[in-house]
């Protein structure tokens, strides 16, 4: 990566962080100023102790600035303070009280700021994910996305709240410690500085190692989360095929690999911290030994020696914190990149000047071709039209492109320029606002999804403000009302995750009822009657014809009886329309439709198994 690319990348990261900090910047500023004030209070205590030992008790001539001496003289001078040491003790207590108040303000403001930051990050990330294209969700694992929105965001919060907020405090401590140390003894200060360049360079050397290690750990945590999420969601499949041991071994192998990565990273961090401890201990030892020698030779006063050691300890704290900050910065850098991946993923966007036309039911596919990314063509030169209020049936084998056509119509996948056009009411869907189009298309997907909520909430989720009367009417049209009323809690019955407490047919009917609450002018049923019996299938189709006779309905099914009453039927094979016509026309055309009809009706002369 070039320097210009790195600068651009860093700029984008800063912009993203400023966006996340909206609403918490002021609180973080208060917390940083409070931390700086607490550090200043820390700096004052050794000076008071030094003055008490050397000036008030030892009688040494004071060398403090004039404004401090004016305050001391107002109290009676150092001789008076030596006779009344309780005044200096009270000064130490007052400084400690300022420190306590500052730390309290720091904790309160920092906690509020960090929790506000987390809320903003989660809200922003979730909102963006909700608007990402369907194709993006198909390429990214759910468990990994969850891990980015939870663990990685917490890592960012911890770094900002625990490290960045201490920057002012570290700066104050460094500057004042060095100032006081140089003012007391320059040679001893230089001696104290001997190991510090080594510590700093050593920390920077380990930065890249930490970053690489944290990246591997985060990626593998995402894999582990995905594995757990898939197994918990698909627990019935695992149990049904007796694959508990296989999935357990698979999970344990991934968990062992993940644990091994943390152990490896822990070894590197242990090496770093132990080496840093040796260097820090060496620095303290040099200061203690040479300071004692200087005191014995009369170069330093005892009070100066005590204060110098205190300042040296304060100086070592930010130096040691540098190591912690670098380690956390490495981890936070990985986390912000993982979050940035989500935020940089382009959301669905309408073209400039997108319109909200009246959505009538007439639909036209004109020479439509489509292929998924890195896959062979799924649709090839597909053309057909549906008049408003008509029912279109679609029949085809697995992978023939039936569902893909509906995904394109609902703009779940974008149709590229030059690959044909799809129009609704005479308007190219590319020019129609996406949310407006989807609001007027009701779709029951091939795999119905129910949320962990009550039956009534699942049915009403597609349309705001749906009352219980409308919910019951939609359930009756989907032949679900009798089933629901047989439950002890009726429509307040809680549905398990993904509808696990309902049968396949009940889930399909609940999904159909959910679509019917919208009364949309276009309704798509993507093989959504496959899990219901033939009698219920007929009842649902009769209800649709009675209640939604003016709507344009698209029925995708492998069941001929479901398609028989459609105004027109398309037969797809390998992404092309190979037959089209009415049920009566197609069952005598001698093609695929007739063969399937004869097999399903039991009139076929011979069935090859």
Is 507 part of a structural domain of the chain?
yes
- Give 293-348 as a 3 state SS string: HHHHCCCCCHHHHHHHHHHHHHHHHHHHHHHHHHHHHHHHHHHHHHHHHHHHCCCC
* Nearest-angstrom CA–CA distance, 360 and 375: 33
- Give 463-510 as a 3 state SS string: CCCCCHHHHHHHHHHCCCHHHHHCCCCHHHCECCHHHCCCCHHHHHHH
* Domain identity same for 16 and 56: yes
Given 477, 497, 519, the domain boundary residue is: 519
Residue 466: CATH number of its domain: 3.40.50.300
State the pLDDT at residue 366. Answer: 93
Domain range spanning residue 64?
A: 10-344
* Domain identity same for 283 and 383: no
* Domain identity same for 335 and 400: no
State the pLDDT at residue 423. Answer: 92
* Nearest-angstrom CA–CA distance, 470 and 480: 13
* Nearest-angstrom CA–CA distance, 80 and 184: 24
Residue 311: CATH number of its domain: 1.20.1560.10
Is 485 part of a structural domain of the chain?
yes
pTM for the whole structure: 0.72
Is 496 part of a structural domain of the chain?
yes
Cβ-proximal residues to 70 (8 Å cutoff; 6+ apart), any chain? none
Is 3 part of a structural domain of the chain?
no
Is 543 part of a structural domain of the chain?
no
Give the sign of the dihedral formed by CA 102, CA 105, CA 108, CA 110. Answer: negative
* Domain identity same for 506 and 414: no
H or E segment and range at residue 88: helix 85-130
Query: Cα torsion for 77, 78, 79, 84, to the nearest 10°?
Result: 100
* Domain identity same for 320 and 431: no
* Domain identity same for 436 and 309: no
Domain total of the chain:
3
* Domain identity same for 367 and 391: yes
* Nearest-angstrom CA–CA distance, 133 and 411: 9
State the pLDDT at residue 467. Answer: 82
Report residue 318 as tokens: 């930010």
Task: Give φ, ψ of 332 to 5 degrees.
Answer: -65, -35
Per DSSP bridges, beta strands 568-573 and 391-396 are parallel
Given 519, 541, 564, the domain boundary residue is: 519
Distances (CA, A) of 511 to 274, 389, 407, 457, 499: 60, 22, 17, 12, 10
Cβ-proximal residues to 546 (8 Å cutoff; 6+ apart), any chain? none
* Nearest-angstrom CA–CA distance, 528 and 539: 14
State the pLDDT at residue 609. Answer: 34
Is 427 part of a structural domain of the chain?
yes
Distances (CA, A) of 152 to 17, 121, 209, 513, 543: 14, 10, 19, 38, 49
Report residue 348 as tokens: 């669905």
Count Cα neighbours of 447 within 13 Å in the Cβ-side half-sphere: 2
* Domain identity same for 482 and 574: no
State the pLDDT at residue 101. Answer: 92
- Reduced to 3 states (helix: H, G, I; strand: E, B; else coil), residue 449 is coil
Angle (deg, nearest 10), helices 196-233 and 244-296: 160
Cβ-proximal residues to 410 (8 Å cutoff; 6+ apart), any chain? 437, 438, 441, 443, 524
27 in Cβ contact with 109 (< 8 Å): yes
* Domain identity same for 396 and 331: no
386-405 per-residue burial string, b: 16 or more CB within 10 A, e: under 16: beebbbbbbbbeeebbbbbb
Per DSSP bridges, beta strands 421-424 and 427-428 are antiparallel
Is 152 part of a structural domain of the chain?
yes
Which residue, among 540, 524, 535, 331, has the nearest Cα to 438 in the 3D structure? 524
* Nearest-angstrom CA–CA distance, 218 and 147: 8
* Domain identity same for 506 and 422: no
Which residue ranges of the chain lie beneath pLDDT 70?
1-2, 62-63, 65, 207-208, 236, 241, 317-324, 326-327, 361, 496-501, 530-531, 547-549, 603-609
* Domain identity same for 131 and 169: yes
Is 197 part of a structural domain of the chain?
yes
* Nearest-angstrom CA–CA distance, 31 and 465: 44
* Domain identity same for 386 and 454: no
């Amino acid at each position: 990566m070039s320097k210009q690319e790195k600068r651009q990348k860093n700029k984008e990261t800063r912009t993203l962080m400023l966006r996340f900090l909206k609403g918490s910047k002021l609180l973080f500023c208060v917390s940083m100023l409070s931390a700086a004030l607490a550090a200043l209070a820390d700096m004052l205590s050794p000076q008071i102790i030094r003055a008490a030992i050397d000036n008030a008790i030892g009688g040494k001539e004071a060398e403090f600035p004039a404004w401090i001496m004016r305050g001391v003289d107002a109290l009676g001078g150092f001789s008076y303070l030596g006779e009344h040491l309780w005044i200096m003790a009270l000064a130490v207590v007052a400084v400690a009280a300022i420190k306590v108040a500052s730390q309290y303000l720091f904790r309160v403001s920092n906690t509020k700021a960090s929790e506000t930051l987390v809320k903003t990050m989660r809200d922003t990330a979730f909102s963006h994910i909700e608007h990402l294209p369907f194709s993006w969700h198909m390429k990214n694992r759910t468990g990994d996305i969850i891990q980015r929105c939870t663990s990685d965001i917490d890592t960012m919060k911890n770094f900002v709240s625990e490290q960045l907020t201490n920057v002012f405090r570290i700066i104050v401590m460094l500057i004042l410690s060095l100032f006081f140390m140089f003012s007391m003894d320059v040679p001893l200060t230089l001696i104290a500085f001997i190991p510090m360049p080594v510590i700093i360079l050593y920390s920077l050397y380990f930065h890249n190692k930490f970053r690489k290690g944290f990246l591997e750990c985060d990626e593998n945590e995402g894999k582990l989360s995905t594995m757990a999420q898939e197994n918990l969601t698909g627990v019935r499949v695992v149990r049904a095929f007796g694959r508990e041991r296989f999935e357990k071994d698979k999970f344990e192998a991934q968990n062992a690999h993940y644990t091994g990565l943390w152990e490896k990273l822990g070894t590197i961090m242990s090496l770093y911290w132990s080496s840093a401890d040796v260097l820090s201990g060496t620095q303290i030892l040099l200061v203690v030994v040479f300071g004692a020698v200087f005191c014995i030779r009369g170069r330093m006063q005892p009070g100066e020696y005590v204060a110098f050691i205190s300042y040296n300890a304060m100086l070592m704290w930010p130096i040691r914190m540098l190591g912690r900050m670098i380690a956390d910065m490495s981890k936070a850098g990985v986390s912000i990149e993982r979050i940035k991946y989500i935020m940089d993923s382009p959301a669905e966007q309408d073209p400039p000047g997108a319109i909200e036309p009246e959505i009538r039911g007439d639909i036209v596919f004109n020479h439509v071709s489509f292929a998924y990314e890195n896959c062979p063509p799924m649709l090839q030169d597909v053309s057909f039209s549906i008049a408003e209020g008509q029912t279109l049936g679609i029949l085809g084998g697995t992978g023939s492109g039936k569902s893909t056509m509906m995904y394109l119509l609902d703009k779940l996948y974008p149709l590229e320029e030059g690959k044909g056009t799809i129009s609704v009411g005479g308007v190219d869907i590319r020019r129609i606002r996406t949310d407006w189009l989807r609001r007027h298309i009701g779709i029951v997907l091939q795999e119905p999804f129910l949320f962990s909520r009550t039956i009534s909430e699942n049915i009403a989720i597609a349309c705001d403000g749906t009352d219980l009367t409308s919910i019951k009417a939609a359930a009756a049209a989907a032949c679900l009302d009798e089933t629901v009323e047989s439950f002890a809690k009726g429509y307040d019955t809680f549905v398990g995750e993904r509808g696990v407490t309902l049968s396949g047919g009940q889930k399909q009917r609940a999904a159909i009822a959910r679509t019917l609450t919208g009364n949309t002018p276009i309704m798509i049923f993507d093989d959504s009657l496959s899990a219901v019996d033939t009698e219920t299938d007929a009842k649902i189709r009769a209800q649709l014809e009675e209640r939604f006779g003016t709507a344009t309905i698209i029925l995708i099914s492998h069941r001929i009886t479901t398609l028989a009453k459609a105004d027109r039927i398309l037969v797809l094979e390998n992404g092309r329309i190979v037959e089209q016509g009415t049920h009566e026309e197609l069952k005598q055309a001698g093609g695929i439709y007739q063969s399937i009809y004869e097999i399903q009706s039991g009139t076929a002369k011979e069935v090859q198994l």
